[in-house]
Chain A
Amino acid sequence: MADDVSAYVRRVKRAAKILFYRRHRQPGVKGWELRRALGKEYLTVIDLLNQQLANVGLEVSTVFEGAERPDTPTSEQLDRARFYVTVKEPLTAADLVLSGWRVDDVAALVVTVSYIISKQGKAARRDIEQLLREKFPKWRVERSLNRYIRQGYLSEVDDVLYLDWRARAEIDQKSLIRLVIGGEATPASEPSEPSAASP
């Protein structure tokens, strides 16, 4: 029994190293890599890791191939899916400032992502540029879009923009759309700003 526990502890630590440390062009690992490293019970190991990560506000996110997440993913879909460690709770306003994002870059990204989502996952680059140029100069629009492509939020094929791996891993698209149209997103545990004095 103790051996089983220690084996799981070892595998959880290994899972943490595999998921945290970047080894490819993009972070995260494929499901088949986790299965090879952790064994066929890798999903159980990931669940155990998730319990530990929740204590520090992190979680393991799964991004499947294709636009929609399957309700009951098959083993083949899990093999091809990509696993990332992401921040579980929304950031505070102060954290967002520390992340280095300029307000205009964030605004342009939100506009671009929500527009692409509304167009079923793809939109002509010139349409997005036209939309952004209503409020930003041309040079900034081009620079921002190229930056999002480099960072992995967008991909471009034949002047058509798609959401890329980072947008699917980091952005809660359903909540984004609901917030844009004025509804409230499914409430997540909002972190509170640190207060100067506590009772």
Chain B
Amino acid sequence: MTSSRERDRLLRIISLCVAIERKGGNPFEVEVKEALETLRRYLPHWKALEDFALDAETLNRISSIVGLQGNWIKHRSSTLFVDPLLIELKIKMLDPDKLVEIFRRTWHPVVEMDRLSAKRIAEAVDYWNHLSPLEDRLMKLPEATGALDLASLEDLVKARLISEESFTALLRSFWLELKAQAGDGERIPYWDFIYAPSYEDTVVRAYLTSFLVTYGFAAMEVDPLEEATFLRPRPEPREVSFTEQTISFPISIDYERWKAQAEGR
């Protein structure tokens, strides 16, 4: 039976390897041979999947350390290796003029050029000549014509901008109409419900129907095979949460479609 002491031992090996990888310490602080021997000794004790995973993770970290040890030796044997502490001390002792002199002797700046070709200049001139002035490009609102006056409530109702009754009451009465037409627990084809003798009224009914569905008064059912859409009124309006993800379902209120519906009646 694996003990927590053995797991702790592996976790300590992993944390040491991770610390050296991240902070760039001396990778030879990890006794790779001893760590591998530990893994070999513990391997027969593992029974649970988590223990095998821990074993694999430890082996992975040790192999990274071996790679770092190789890089360490390569760097130390290269001509670029100098004791970091010595460099730090030397840097602190050098005055700016000496540092500038060192830079001057070791700096070989990259030479580069930018160009503007004759073709690109011609394209730019052509673009400039065809570009409209800024004030022409900015969209202007049409200026108001006629005198300003106040509109009465009757004017707004006649213009069908507002209704006499509140919108909620309007929606509720529309919902009751849907329930009456569909019947108890039944559904009604979408176009049968929104149809009105005039196209404009049909559009208004479609507009109100969209609110019925959005605010939970009715459900919309789509049969993709028949390409038919139905409305099923809910017995009671369902509370809609606007924090849940919703989808939009566009429906075209096509004039030809309305006309076909009218001719079919």
Q: Is B113 an interface residue (CB 8 A)?
A: yes
8 Å CB interface, B68-94 against A: 71-72, 74-75, 78-80, 82-84, 86-88, 90-92, 94
Q: C-beta contact mask, A83-98 vs B, less than 8 Å → 1, else 0?
A: 0111110111100100
A181 touches B111 (CB 8 A): no
Known: A103-B96, A115-B87, A181-B86. A68 touches B78 (CB 8 A): yes
Which residues of A have CB within 8 Å of B88? Answer: 115, 118, 131
8 Å CB interface, B103-152 against A: 103-115
Residue tally, chain B, CB below 8 Å to A: 36
Bound state CA distance, A87 and B112, in angstroms? 11
Q: Is B44 an interface residue (CB 8 A)?
A: no
A22 touches B106 (CB 8 A): no
Q: How far is the CB of A183 from chain B (nearest CB, A)?
A: 10
| Chain A interface residues toward B at CB < 8 A | 20-22, 27-28, 58, 61, 68, 84-88, 90-93, 96, 99, 103-104, 106-107, 109-111, 114-115, 117-120, 122, 131, 134, 166, 169-177, 179-182, 185, 188, 190
A118 touches B87 (CB 8 A): yes
Q: Which residue of B lies closest to A152 (CB)?
A: B110
Which residues of B have CB within 8 Å of A107? Answer: 96, 99-100, 103
Q: How far is the CB of B225 from chain A (nearest CB, A)?
A: 54
Which residues of B have CB within 8 Å of A87? Answer: 108-109, 111
Which residues of B have CB within 8 Å of A190? Answer: 105
